[in-house]
C-alpha cells in the first residue's frame, strides 16, 4: 500500500493495531486512559494548559504534529484550545453521542488516539475551538531537536508554466508521489500580483504551478515527462486559445541540478523529433512564487469545469 502523505509533507498512513498497541504500552496510565479509552482529564489540571512557548503540539502516542502554538488561545474552559489544526489531514473527526450529548470527537489521523472534541464557538478565522487533553499531547519547543516520528518527509519542489494553471494544477495533483500542486504566478516584476494584474500582460508573470513532491516516489524527470504531455511546448505567446505572455510555456528551476536536467530533457525531445515544431519552453532559475487567489485553487475539482489538458499519468 502506498503511504498516505499530507499536504504539509507528513506520513499519515494509519498505523496497524499491533503498532498502536506497541506504542501505547509506553504511555503513562493517564495518557493511556485518555488516548486509548477516550478519557477526559480534569479541567485546569493539564500541564500544557498555560504553556505560552513557541512550538508544536504532537501526538503523545505516535508523534504526528497536530496543533501549533500560533493557533492556541485561552478559551477559559480549562483545557488547551486551538482554533485550527496544524494540518486538517492530521486530525480526524467523528460523531460522539456518549453521555447523552451529540459532540464531534477528534482523533489523531495516524494512530487513532483520542484527543478531545471540536466545538463551533471558537474565534475567527475558523470559528472553531479544538478542546484538547494535555495528556494526549507532547510539546516540542521551537529550536529543539525534532524526533523522526515528528518530522516531515524530505520533499522537493518544482515549478511549471503551461498555459492556464487550472488544468496543469489538477493533473499534477494526481501524480503518484506529488504531495501538493498550487496555482500561482512567477517570473514577473510586480510584488504580490493579482489575477487581474497578471491578465493585463504587463507584470511579466506566468501562470505557474508549484509542485511539492516526494523524490523517493517520483523523480523530477517523471514530472518533466508529464509536463510535456500536458501542453504544447511549441506554441509561442500562449497556450491553445489563451494568448499572452502569462500563458507562456516555462520551467522555473529550483536549483542547478533541475536546470541541467530540464535543458537535457528538452534536447532529448528535440533530437527525437517528437514535436514537429521547435520547442519554445523557457528554462530559467525560479524567482518568487506568489500563490494565486483561493478561488483558483483546485478549480477543476471544485467546479467540474471541462479541461483540455490530457491526463499524463
* Sequential DSSP letters for 63-112: --EEEEGGGEE--SSSS-EESS-SSGGGEEEEEE-GGG--EEEEEETTT-
Residue 61 main-chain phi, psi, to 5 deg = -85, -55
Q: What is the mean pLDDT of each run of 10 residues along the chain (313 residues)?
A: 74 95 97 97 96 97 98 97 96 93 96 98 96 98 96 92 90 89 92 90 91 91 96 86 86 97 96 93 95 87 81 89
Catalytic residue among 59, 62, 164, 199: 164
| Cα 61–Cα 14–Cα 7 angle in degrees, nearest 5 | 100
Query: Which cell goes with 196?
Result: 487581474
What is residue 2's predicted lDDT score, i.e. its pLDDT? 57
What is residue 30's predicted lDDT score, i.e. its pLDDT? 97
* Exposed/middle/buried for residue 136 (C-beta within 10 Å: 0-12, 13-18, 19+): buried
- Residues with Cβ within 8 Å of 264's Cβ and at least 6 positions away in sequence, in order, are none
What is residue 39's predicted lDDT score, i.e. its pLDDT? 96
164 a catalytic residue: yes
- Residues with Cβ within 8 Å of 74's Cβ and at least 6 positions away in sequence, in order, are 81
Query: Which cell goes with 135?
Result: 495528556
* CA 239 to each of CA 131, 143, 211, 268: distance values in angstroms, whole numbers, following the listed order: 49, 46, 20, 22
What is residue 3's predicted lDDT score, i.e. its pLDDT? 66
How far is it, in rounded angstroms, from Cα 88 to Cα 111? 15
59 a catalytic residue: no
Catalytic residue among 108, 131, 199, 307: 131
Amino acid at each position: 500500500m502506498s503511504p498516505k502523505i499530507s499536504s504539509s509533507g507528513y506520513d499519515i498512513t494509519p498505523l496497524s493495531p499491533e503498532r498502536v498497541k506497541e506504542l501505547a504500552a509506553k504511555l503513562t496510565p493517564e495518557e493511556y486512559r485518555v488516548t486509548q479509552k477516550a478519557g477526559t482529564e480534569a479541567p485546569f489540571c493539564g500541564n500544557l494548559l498555560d504553556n505560552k512557548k513557541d512550538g508544536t503540539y504532537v501526538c503523545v502516542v505516535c508523534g504526528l504534529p497536530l496543533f501549533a502554538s500560533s493557533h492556541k488561545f485561552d478559551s477559559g474552559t480549562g483545557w488547551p484550545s486551538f482554533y485550527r489544526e496544524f494540518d486538517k489531514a492530521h486530525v480526524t473527526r467523528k460523531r460522539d453521542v456518549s453521555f447523552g450529548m451529540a459532540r464531534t470527537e477528534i482523533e489523531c489521523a495516524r494512530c487513532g488516539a483520542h484527543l478531545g472534541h471540536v466545538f463551533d464557538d471558537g474565534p475567527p478565522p475558523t470559528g472553531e475551538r479544538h478542546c484538547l487533553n494535555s495528556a494526549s499531547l507532547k510539546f516540542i519547543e521551537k529550536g529543539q531537536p525534532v524526533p523522526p516520528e515528528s518530522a516531515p518527509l524530505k520533499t522537493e519542489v518544482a515549478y511549471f508554466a503551461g498555459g492556464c494553471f487550472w488544468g496543469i494544477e489538477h493533473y499534477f495533483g494526481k501524480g503518484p508521489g506529488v504531495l501538493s500542486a498550487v496555482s500561482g504566478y512567477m517570473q514577473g516584476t510586480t510584488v504580490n500580483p493579482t489575477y487581474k494584474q497578471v491578465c493585463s500582460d504587463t507584470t511579466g508573470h506566468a501562470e505557474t504551478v508549484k509542485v511539492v513532491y516526494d523524490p523517493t516516489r517520483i523523480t523530477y524527470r517523471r514530472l518533466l515527462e508529464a509536463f510535456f504531455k500536458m501542453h504544447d511546448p511549441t506554441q509561442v505567446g500562449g497556450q491553445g486559445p489563451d494568448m499572452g505572455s502569462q500563458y507562456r510555456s516555462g520551467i522555473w528551476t529550483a536549483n542547478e541540478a533541475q536546470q541541467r536536467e530540464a535543458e537535457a530533457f528538452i534536447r532529448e525531445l528535440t533530437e527525437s523529433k517528437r514535436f514537429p515544431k521547435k520547442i519554445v519552453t523557457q528554462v530559467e532559475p525560479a524567482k518568487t512564487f506568489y500563490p494565486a487567489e483561493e478561488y483558483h485553487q483546485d478549480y477543476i475539482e471544485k467546479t467540474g469545469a471541462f479541461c483540455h489538458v490530457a491526463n499524463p499519468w
